[in-house]
Amino acid sequence: MMRDYPTMSRGHLPRRDLLKAAAAGAVAAISANAAPSAQPEGPTMADVCDIGSRRELFVDQFLIARLDKATLKLHEPVSGGVAIRLDKPWEGPANFGHLVLRHGDQYLMYYRAMTLEKDDDSGAYCVATSADGVTWTKPNLGLVERAGRKDTNLIADDRGTARFSWSGSVWLDTRPGVPETERIKAFTSEALSGVKHSAYVDPAGPKRLVMYASAAGFTFRRLAQQPEIVSKLPNAFDGGNTMFWSEAEQCYVLYYRFMDG
């Protein structure tokens, strides 16, 4: 059962807190054992945090002992041009949630397509594919009909329903041992009351995330064994939900949004 305000169990610390604790312990040991006059001129081996082969962003000076003729600079993104154009009748204008993942020998880009039609209360997810991450193609999946056309790039469940959009997300499950037919996952939210949760309607009471899986990332099936992810927070799972397997913590991590007021 997922708690709305999770706590860490005893003996388990987040990696950054663990590094801080290790560094503090090393400094305490040096201070206790060294003679009063011993003043090391620079960091010793005991002061160095072993990060192995992990990539670390130097967003602060936590892992930096000193800077000599160097500064930390936050670089600005540079436009790479237009990746795709939202030019299909089912794609807009309410779009957001672009996500890119690499699976096998191709890249997959997922984005929400939502029109202003009365019956379009949450939108649906489209997909584009690319071999190099630069040139993108919208595949003709033929799974969902929109605007009188079946040649759409809308993903769907195995019943042909385009249910993945505003409250859900697609993500790549990198946990070792996961079946290849379940590598790409998606979820959507449901109110325990049975009332439909949409972009315009927030049913009262707790809600849960329902997990789906896919081999190729186009057609998803509902998993028979569901995780127990339930929240009582107001308007829980209101878009922006992100899940992944953390190799460092050896567990799944979920970030989700709620709105109070």
pLDDT for position 46:
61
Q: Would residue 46 count as lying in a domain?
A: no
Pick the more confident residue, 19 or 167: 167
Q: Would residue 143 count as lying in a domain?
A: yes
Q: Would residue 202 count as lying in a domain?
A: yes
First and final C-alpha spacing in the chain: 26
Q: Would residue 219 count as lying in a domain?
A: yes
Q: Which residue reads 């290849």 in tokens?
A: 180
The pair of structure tokens assigned to 148 is 């009188």
Output b/e per residue, 3-33; b: 16+ Cβ within 10 A: eeeeeeeeeeeeeeeebeeebeebeeeeeee
The pair of structure tokens assigned to 171 is 């993500």
Q: Would residue 24 count as lying in a domain?
A: no
Report the alpha-carbon distance of residue 117 to residue 97 in Å, rounded: 20
Is residue 132 within 8 Å of 109, Cβ to Cβ? Answer: no
- Average pLDDT of every residue of the chain: 80
Q: Would residue 116 count as lying in a domain?
A: yes
What is the average pLDDT across 40-53? 66
**Helix (H), strand (E) counts: the chain:** 1, 11
Count of domains observed in the chain:
1
pLDDT digit string, tens, across residues 55-87: 888 888 888 888 999 999 888 999 989 999 989
Amino acid identity, residue 10?
R
Q: Would residue 61 count as lying in a domain?
A: no
pLDDT for position 37:
43
Q: Which domain holds residue 183?
A: 99-255
Provide the β-strand partners of residue 207: 191, 231
What does DSSP assign to residue 146? B
Peptide bond into 93 cis (omega under 30): yes
Q: Would residue 87 count as lying in a domain?
A: no
